[in-house]
Amino acid sequence: MFMSRMTARKLKAICNYITGWILVTVGATALGMLAFAEFNIDSLFFMLQLSIFVGLSHGIYDVVVLQDEMDHRSVTAALLIRSLYFITNISINYALCILVWNMDNGANRLITVQGLEQVLAAFETHKCLATIALMFLLAHMFTFMNTVHKKFGTRVFVNTVLGKYQDPVEEDLIFMFIDLRHSTEIAEELGHVRYSNFMKDYYKLLSNCCAENRGDIYQIAGDGAFLTWKTSACKKKARPINCFYDFAVCLERTKPRFLKKYGVAPSFKAGVHCGKVISTEVGNFGSEMAYHGDVLNTTSRIQSLCTKLGKDFLISEDLYIKLPLPLPHGFFCHKEGFFELRGKKKEILIFSLHTP
């Protein structure tokens, strides 16, 4: 039996924590040894073991305990609790590594008097205290980097760190505009506070589906959101189609939960288009990513045809000819005809997505 996609995503996230801890901790240890010309293979393997334990527990705390979400406590309380957890986590794992190494040296069980004496002796050394302090700072750095990564998405985060978008860059991208149906009626029925919580739950599901299909959320504006993929990344796998399907299935499965909590369940419509845009960072303080070009406006206009045609999903001819066939999940495209979109001089051929 295969694991669910959510379980696979959580497992991958935990593995990323472990990998990050190993690379930084072991790398820093090796560089320190080279700098002081005191290379010790046992110390290197000890730090490798420690980084695996700390990375595993850090990943479980963020991904499983906090459910990979922002901490809902106040900033001060969250910082104190997280700091206490990091100190405890690193100290316990440091002691555990000493006990494991004691077993390798001939002890017949994990906890022995000799092993506990070694732990107490180690915690009295400046090396141990310095290691715990540095790993404590590193843990907060990892948390900060993960928060920034979740904010921007993988592709934008990596390219921003590398400085790719400091100057305008032309890219061929796919944009999907997803719009919540009957948003005005839902807002009036729920009130602004409950509606805000409703949208938060709705966008949480959308962001998960987008991330699982290797897309990025470019912009959320009220009840609509722009998702984006590199066109080259979708030539062998129709990721926008998969994302649409996954989100529809996800909303169907969570419908009882929305009805119980809010008395109404969300549904959506979407339009997809592709083309060349200029990607760049705009602004100085508080800068953000921006995509300039006609593709976004066209995508929005295509989505607006969903209500007129009575369809849930529409795509342009430009995207249709680039999608790999056959389409996933048994989908097939039906030609809806040529439409003159507002702001466009030429008519655009539109296709709708259907299941058998």
pLDDT at 325 over 50: yes
Give the chain's domains with CATH numbers: 5-152 (no CATH), 154-354 (3.30.70.1230)
- For 59, counting Cβ atoms within 10 Å of its Cβ (0-12 exposed, 13-18 middle, 19+ buried), the class is buried
Task: Tell me what pLDDT residue 64 has.
Answer: 80
List pLDDT tens digits, range 270-306: 999 999 999 887 766 556 778 888 888 899 999 989 9
List pLDDT tens digits, range 6-43: 677 788 888 989 999 999 988 888 888 887 777 778 88
pLDDT at 1 over 50: no
Task: Tell me what pLDDT residue 65 has.
Answer: 80
Q: Give the mean pLDDT of 100-127.
A: 80
Number of other residues whose CB lies within 10 A of the CB of residue 332: 13
Write the DSSP string, 23-83.
Answer: HHHHHHHHHHHHHHT---HHHHHHHHHHHHHHHHHHHIIIIIISTTS---S-HHHHHHHHH
% of the chain exceeding 90 in pLDDT: 34
**By the 8 A CB rule, do 338 and 349 touch?**
yes
